[in-house]
Amino acid sequence: MRNGSGQVYIVDDEYDYRFLVEQVFMRFLPQYTVRFFTSGDDLLGHVLSQTTQGEYLGNDFPSLILLDMHMPGQNGLQTLLEVRQHKVWKQIPIVMMSNATSQQERDSCYIAGVNSFLIKPIGLNRLLETMEAVCKYWLQLNQAPSPDL
């Protein structure tokens, strides 16, 4: 049973990784709609453009945002903090992913309000396994917020 838009936003600066993730979704998880962003700024630009339109955009809100922690410019944590400042977008579940963090960095993410933190999976099988578990939880089990601009 799906609720929410069934859309996942994925923010990652690495082209190769985005490509791989896109392939995984296309082939193995076609029931979910994925939209990619290349940086925190890219995502925030989108958030802002949605806001200024000032209408209820219903289905256009993602059910989940997957953020890469280590990105040049605005890193994942900074992006998270900015999104959380937004009156409506702050409700949207955000999952942070990284494979090179200290315990302190992970704690900071939780303190900053991330919904979950995951170690970034390497390799096709782990990637599929992770994406499947993440989407199953957030897009099928979890009740998504229904933001109203």
Partner 1 sequence: MAALTKYEHLRGNFKRAKLLVIEDNDDHWTLIRNAINQSLPELMYVRASNSAMALELLQSWTIEEWELPKLILQDLYVPTREEGWNLVKEIKEMSPVCNRIPLVMFSSSQDPDDVNEAYQLGVSSYLVKPLDFSDWLAYFKQLRSYWWDTVTLPPVQFSV
**Least distance (Å) from partner 1 to the CB of residue 17?**
18
Output the smallest distance, CB 140 to partner 1, in A: 9
78 binds partner 1 (CB under 8 A): no
Dihedral sign from CA coordinates of 15, 16, 20, 23: positive
Separation CA 148–CA 134 (nearest Å):
25
Q: How many residues does the chain have?
A: 149
Q: Please count the residues of this chain forming the interface with partner 1, following the rule CB under 8 A.
A: 28
Stretch that binds partner 1, among 12-20, 38-46, 48-56, 138-146 (CB under 8 A): 138-146
Question: Smallest distance from the beta carbon of 39 to partner 1, in angstroms?
Answer: 24
Residue 9 forms beta bridges with which residues?
35, 65
**Site membership for partner 1, residue 100 (CB under 8 A):** no
Query: Could you tell me which of 71, 66, 19 has the C-alpha nearest to residue 40?
Result: 71
Which of the 8 DSSP states describes residue 36?
A: E
70 part of the interface to partner 1, by CB under 8 A: no
Torsion region of 63: left, alpha or beta (phi above 0 gives left; psi -120 to 50 gives alpha)? alpha
Residues of this chain that bind partner 1 (CB under 8 A): 90-93, 103, 106-107, 110-111, 113, 115-119, 130, 133-134, 136-137, 141-148
